[in-house]
Amino acid sequence: MKQIIINADDFGRHKLINRAVQIAYEKGCLKSTTIMAGGIAFDDAVSTAKKLSNLGVGVHLTLANGNPILPPNKIPSLVTEEGTFYDNHAAFLKRYLQGKINFDEVRAELAAQIEKVKRAGLNLTHVDSHQHLHHVPKIIDIVLELADAAGIHAIRISDTKIFEGEFGGIGQFIGRVGLASLAKFAAHKIHAKNFLSPNHFTGIVAGESVTENFMLNLLENLREGTTEVMLHPGTENSMLKNFCQWEHDFEAELNAVTSPKVLKLLDEKKIAAVNFSALRANDE
């Protein structure tokens, strides 16, 4: 059996991302997304999700490059003087390695994020995290504890291929090796706790975009089991690049999962596009 989970990260970060999720669901093969509790378009994302009855929604746990749920004075080790999270995973990990992260604060903030999404009335299918920080030692334990308490038992394992896509230099190489190593470490804990996860993970993790050609090649060579494809789709590249401060082709990813060629190949290969709830059905 071959299944594919196309998951859009950053749902709720911006209305242009929310619109892309809706388009990719209605006109394409996207069946899954993860919502940012601290996103400025969170309420719009909740409203959108409730209109798309078979869209699987997970929690996109955030500890960097975003806004916290708790007041900054409750989580001082996690935020800047401006009260926002630090700019990116590198800044967070630097503080982590320096022993400056308070894990009680991590637990409190992530619990608040999950609770906010649950209060919104969404039936949650899984968890993952912004910039893959749920794989970090100690943080993975907190995430699994909180997810279990919330009745969520599926999670992403970002076991990325080191040489997928174009080679972006030594920095990209080191980043991918680091992520792959953290993912393998986290996977042992995830499986020990009997959490479900897709068999395979893909999606270009260093700024490049999942294109139509990427999707066509993936489907032609799809492995047995369930493969998750991580996406960051959006509309109006110029606005999103400026807002996210990220040189990413959001529109290319939206086009990839709404491509008639991709949809036709899915049908020809009899590959089911599903969300994380299908993992439970497979496990029963």
Predicted confidence band of residue 181 (pLDDT cuts 50, 70, 90): confident
Neighbours of 267 (CB within 10 A): 10
Res. 283: pLDDT tops 90: no
What's the rounded Cα separation, in Å, for the pair 202 and 105? 31
Res. 171: pLDDT tops 60: no
Q: Residue 178 has what pLDDT?
A: 63
Largest CA distance in the chain: 55
Residue of 55 and 163 predicted with greater confidence: 55
Q: Residue 256 has what pLDDT?
A: 96
Helix (H) or strand (E) holding 229: strand 225-231
Cα 97 vs. chain centroid, distance in angstroms? 24
Write the CB contacts of 160 (distance below 8 Å, at least 6 apart in sequence).
176, 179, 180, 183, 201, 202, 203, 205
Neighbours of 277 (CB within 10 A): 18
Q: Residue 246 has what pLDDT?
A: 87
Q: What is the pLDDT of residues 190-247, one digit of tens each?
A: 999 999 999 999 986 545 689 999 999 999 999 999 999 999 999 999 999 999 988 8
Q: Residue 172 has what pLDDT?
A: 54
Predicted confidence band of residue 282 (pLDDT cuts 50, 70, 90): low
Rounded to the nearest 10°, the torsion over CA 189, 193, 199, 201 is: -50
Q: What is the pLDDT of residues 73-123, one digit of tens each?
A: 999 999 999 999 999 999 999 999 999 999 999 999 999 999 999 999 998
Predicted confidence band of residue 168 (pLDDT cuts 50, 70, 90): low
pTM for the full predicted model: 0.93
Q: Percent of the chain scored above 70 by pLDDT?
A: 90
At residue 58, what are phi and psi to the nearest 5 degrees? -115, 180
DSSP 3-state assignment of 58? strand
Res. 248: pLDDT tops 60: yes
Q: 115 burial class (0-12, 13-18, 19+ CB within 10 angstroms)?
A: middle
Residue 148: closest CA among 122, 126, 123: 126
What's the rounded Cα separation, in Å, for the pair 215 and 213? 5
Q: What total of structural domains would you count in the chain? A: 1
Q: Residue 209 has what pLDDT?
A: 82
Averaged pLDDT score across all residues of the chain: 92
Domain of residue 207, CATH code: 3.20.20.370
**Residue range of the domain that includes 59:** 2-283
Res. 139: pLDDT tops 80: yes
Q: What residues pair up with 58 in beta bridges, in sequence order?
A: 34
Q: Percent of the chain scored above 90 by pLDDT?
A: 83
